[in-house]
A and B are shown apart, each in its own frame.
Chain A
Amino acid sequence: MADSLGGNAVASPRELAHIYRKLAGARIRADWQYRGPFIGYTLTQGLITFLDFVQIAVIFNQVDQLAGWSVAEVAFLYGASSIAFHVGDAFISQCERAPQRVKSGEFDLLLIRPVPTLFHLCADDFAFRRFGKLIQSVVVFATALVVLDIDWSVAKVGMLVVMLISGTAIFAAVWVTTSAVAMWMIDATEIMNSFTYGSSFAAQYPLPVMAKWLRHFLTFVVPAAFVSYFPALFILDKPDPFGTPAWIRFAGPAVAVVLMLVARTTWSAAIRHYRSTGS
């Protein structure tokens, strides 16, 4: 630890970017050694994810609308939730493996490195194949934007950008928080998955579709409704059957900031309380 970066000194952003490129690049090169299976795997991952949209398409083959939302409007929700979730999946979801590393004893290794632990974890397990899932989200979202006759204004374009950024931040924060909790309760890792995957799946549908307690859960506990539904009310000029105050539609960034603070606190608490399993 005697080098210039030693101890707990944190590398500068430029150095971090350099390290990230090196670590992620190594992963991509490793994957590319077996390019046949790698490409196949990337494509099939995209296909599995796309099934969620196929489900929506099949439903709308039978009905014209769902809780007052057309297929294009639901595709908009799907795209927003799916893009936010899969950008988070590509860059942050690697923290899911923290509990596994605690179990195997490898976690110590991350702690003695002169870069932030979360950063290291995410760079180290970078997997390019996850972009296979993102591609289909972008295609569905772009199609929805073209098909929908949106009455564009500066505010709406701004909202669209803000929605995707804060949505990604929300899911990323949920990922980090649930992974931190799972570091305490190693056995709960898979349960935590149903919070991340479950909430992003539910956010693909209009909120009024859900049972009452699910609506509350998606608004107040894992606030995935702020990723897609509330911003969509504004962009698509839709009324909210529950008569929520108008500012809720714009609350996404605030929710994201709060969740990121929660994630930060839980993650550092998890690291502070971590006890090595090593001998």
Chain B
Amino acid sequence: MRLWWEVARRSFHRHSTYRAATFAGVFTNTVFGFILASIMLAVFEERRDIGGFDAVDAVTFTWVAQGFLAAVGAFGGHLPLADRIKTGEVVVDLYRPADLMLFELAGDIGRAAFQVLIRATVPLAVGGLFFHLRLPSSASTWLLFIASLTIGLVVSFAIRFLVTLTTFWFLDYRAPSQMSTVVTMFLSGFLMPVVFFPDWLETTARALPFVTFVQLPIEVLMGKHTGADLVAVFAAQGAWAVVLLAVSRWALSLATRRVVIQGG
């Protein structure tokens, strides 16, 4: 446990040194927050309610999403590990006396923790300044949100880890990585809340793991789930996390059998 804590802490620290990148990310999220929130308001000029969302809900969703997208890895894609698989440096990672998957997970959690602290606060503050947002005042709702976001991050990690592992087979990870970005951005609620989808598509999206890291946590924050419904949300998130980590573990064991060490 101590080891994973240290890995996460160092990852947090490493990301805190990328100041220019962090600032650029915050800036981009804020710019897109303005554009998307404007579009949302225009949409709700035409209608009062879409799938239980009113204008304030939609604008709140947009700004919260812009704040937390980077942290939960809602862009999909691959982990930096993919480059190490491509170059063969992954053998160094493999002969460490630590589990590769958990090592990467701890690192990803450290990264996410930093990005939540910095990248989320600015867009939310700016959004709150220029738009009417409906954020909960009770600390318990925020804690539930953080819990939901954390489980979502594990699901998102497992998906990105699986995409990364394809590098063992294809060596060029760009196409699988981009494909996962397309699917993730569309089905997670990143582009827009899935309640905007036609019914059949919303049902499909909700049956897939991608909603666990954008749509569901934000719905929890907005108080859309209470009582048994809330338990069901956490159960679904937890189930996806366990299943996908198990699949990741199995895929990793397959992949490592493919490693060929060159040189001598």
Contacts and interface: CB of A to CB of B under 8 A. Distances in A.
Interface of A: 34, 36-37, 40-41, 43-45, 47-48, 51, 54-55, 58-59, 61-67, 187-191, 193-194, 198, 201-202, 205, 208-211, 214
Nearest to A48: B182
B242 interface: no
B27 A210 contact: no
A58 B196 CA distance: 7
Interface in B175-213: 175, 178-179, 181-182, 185-186, 191-192, 196-198
B174 A59 contact: no
Contact of A214 (B19, B21, B34, B43): B34
23 contacts: A34-B172, A40-B175, A40-B179, A41-B172, A41-B175, A44-B175, A51-B185, A54-B191, A58-B192, A58-B196, A59-B43, A61-B196, A62-B47, A63-B43, A64-B46, A66-B39, A67-B45, A187-B23, A193-B28, A210-B35, A211-B37, A211-B38, A214-B35
Contacts of A44: 174-175, 178-179, 181-182
B32 A198 contact: yes
Given A63-B43, A198-B35, 10 more contacts: A36-B172, A41-B172, A41-B175, A47-B182, A48-B178, A51-B191, A55-B191, A198-B28, A205-B42, A210-B35
* Size class of the contact patch on chain B: 35 or more
Contact of B38 (A58, A188, A209): A209
Nearest to B28: A194
Contacts of B32: 194, 198, 201
Contacts of B38: 209-211, 214
B196 A59 contact: yes
B199 to A, nearest CB: 10
Given A34-B172, A62-B196, A41 B178 contact: yes
Q: For B27, B35, B179, B181, which residue has the most chain A Cβ atoms within 10 angstroms?
A: B35
Contacts of B196: 58-59, 61-62
A47 B178 CA distance: 9
Interface in B1-59: 19-21, 23-25, 27-28, 31-32, 34-35, 37-39, 42-43, 45-47, 50
B42 A209 contact: yes
Contacts of A187: 19-20, 23
A188 B197 CA distance: 36
A67 B178 CA distance: 33
B190 to A, nearest CB: 9
B250 interface: no
A12 B197 CA distance: 55
B174 A41 contact: yes
A61 B198 contact: yes
A62 B39 CA distance: 13
Contact of A66 (B24, B46, B174, B198): B46
A214 to B, nearest CB: 6
B203 to A, nearest CB: 15
A54 B182 CA distance: 11
B130 interface: yes
Contacts of B170: 37
B34 A191 contact: no
Nearest to B172: A37
B35 A202 contact: yes
A63 B24 contact: no
A179 to B, nearest CB: 15
A157 to B, nearest CB: 30
Given A59-B196, A187-B20, A193-B28, A211 B130 contact: yes
Contacts of B172: 34, 36-37, 41
A51 B186 contact: yes
A202 B33 CA distance: 11
Nearest to A218: B35
A191 B21 CA distance: 9
Contacts of A202: 35
Contacts of A47: 178-179, 182
Contacts of A43: 175
Nearest to B183: A47
A194 B31 contact: yes
Nearest to A45: B178
